[in-house]
Amino acid sequence: METSTYRIMHLDILFCFLVLAVLSSSCVDQVKFGPLCGGNPDNMKRGCDTKYGCGHYGASRGSKKHMGLDIVCSDGAYLYAPFDVRIIGRAKPYGNNNAIDDGITLMGEGLCFKLFYVMPDQLSGTRFKYEKIGRLLPMQKVYPGITSHVHVQMCDKSDPTKYF
């Protein structure tokens, strides 16, 4: 009897962990980003530019694929926390120190994501939903004629589109 009680307890614990895992993943699937960029309250996505390609996840970049989603934003516009976030640190998209080679890594709502082409206000701490987190860098200096945007990339490089 003692052995069967022990097995039932282990099965109950395992069941609880499985339920938590399912609930956690379904909660993450329901997460939606609040407005990221001042002047774009609906998080309008960047379409395609003749010279620079398209802003959707998986778009062709020659032999590579676009690993994020571009949200329209004007050069110099303020960027805001899409929900309560913890600032993890700086993210460098290119590593070449050009005019837009800066960004920020954030965690919140069970997600880890990066925002590229952003001059962050700070590199640690927390920000609450709608609080300013930085400004969009001057994309036109590097890509003249492109639709200026903030690039949203999940830390695991999965598709962020479902969160918008």
Contact 154, 113 (CB under 8 A): yes
How many Å apart are CA 161 and CA 55, to the nearest integer? 11
In the numeric block, which tokens belong to residue 141?
């200096």
Fold of 32-163: Glucose Permease (Domain IIA) (2.70.70)
Least confident residue range of 18-32, 86-100, 148-162: 18-32
Domain ranges within the chain, ordered by starting residue: 1-30, 32-163
| Neighbouring-strand partners of residue 120 | 134
Stretch 10-14: mean pLDDT: 40
Range 8-15 contact pairs with CB under 8 angstroms and sequence separation of 24 or more: none
Mean pLDDT in the chain? 88
| Confidence check: pLDDT of 21 > 70 | no
* pTM reported for the whole predicted model: 0.82
- What percentage of the chain has pLDDT greater than the value 70? 82
Please state, as a whole number, how many other Cβ atoms lie within 10 Å of the Cβ of residue 34: 12
Task: Quick: pLDDT tens for 46-103.
Answer: 999 989 999 999 999 989 999 999 999 999 999 999 999 999 999 999 999 999 999 9
Q: Token pair 């960004």 is at which residue?
A: 103
